[in-house]
Structure 1
Amino acid sequence: MPTYIALTYTADVDWTRPEYAEETKEYIAFGQAAADVLRGGHALYPTATATTVRVPDGKGGEVVTSDGPYTETKEALTGFYLLECADLDEAVAVAAKIPAAWNGTVEIRPVITF
């Protein structure tokens, strides 16, 4: 069966904070309900904790790091799920049940297995 990644884009918040406990429960409920197709997934800490890595001179060049991403958007990449579904239609049906789809965006992409 094909594997899809469902990238969640929501408000850039720290899901470990108590004020998000109720919404976090919705994600836990989704995980339990979709257990048959879930193959992994995690929430991500806010973008302020990110480190961007570049090698501007190409392979073997100097590694340049900076704090966080450069883009400023309403929604940020806040998590992902790996879904093993029969086809894209099933992946879309599952993604529509992820709480991020209700107040943000879920992007689905097929995964290439090498």
Structure 2
Amino acid sequence: MKYLLAMYLNPEVMANLSEQDMEAVLTGHQDFIRTIRESGEMISTQALGAVADSTVVRVRSGLPAVTDGPFVESKEFLAGYYLVECASKDRAVELAAMIPDAAIEGLGIEVREVVFFADAESEVPMA
């Protein structure tokens, strides 16, 4: 089963971390990547750019309406993810708990089952 381990970031929380704590987070991610590669559970991981640089596109009456910034006002935003394949949701939760952000007050990891998956070479299913 595939799971998305979504990492949500709060800029205020991150700004208040010491240099030592930030280094521990970065090292923790390196260790986590190594762990899930060695276990064969890693599919991919991505870190996203700053939410202030995002753009939202909505099509209204057939025309795109483009606005800058996030869709909603929020203290937290999606900062990146790990896509893993593991035996169960319990294992996905266990993996999420290994991500260093999960141990920081004010941050969290969302675990969601992937119900459809296609890579660049997969055919798109017809409805």
Decide: shared fold, TM above 0.5: yes
> Any residues of structure 2 matched to 1:10-89 within 5 Å, and which?
10-12=9-11, 22=23, 23-35=25-37, 36-57=40-61, 61-89=62-90
TM-score between the two structures when normalised by the length of structure 1: 0.82
Maintained 8 Å contact 1:53/1:64: yes
Of 89, 111, 114, the residue aligned with 1:111 is: 114
Q: List alignment gaps of at least 5 residues for structure 1.
A: none
Q: Contact 1:5 / 1:83 at 8 angstroms: preserved in 2?
A: yes
CA deviations on 1:81-113 (whole Å, 9 max, x unpaired) are 101010100100001111121121111111122
Residues 12, 47 of structure 1: 8 Å contact kept: no
Q: Which has the larger radius of gyration?
A: 2
- TM-aligned CA distance change 1:45 to 1:12, over 3 Å: farther
Deviations 1:11-40 (A, max 9, x none): 2489xxxx6861222211111112121100
Query: 1:74 deviation in Å?
Result: 2.4
Q: How many residues align?
A: 106
Structure-2 separation of matches of 1:79 and 1:102: 16
Task: Using the aligned pairs only, state the percent identity.
Answer: 35
Letter in 2 for 1:11: N
Structure 2, unpaired ranges of 5+: 117-124
How far residue 62 of structure 1 moved from its aligned partner, in angstroms, is 0.3
1: CA distance between counterparts of 2:65 and 2:101?
32
What residue number does 1:3 align with? 2
Quote the offset at 1:48 in angstroms.
0.5
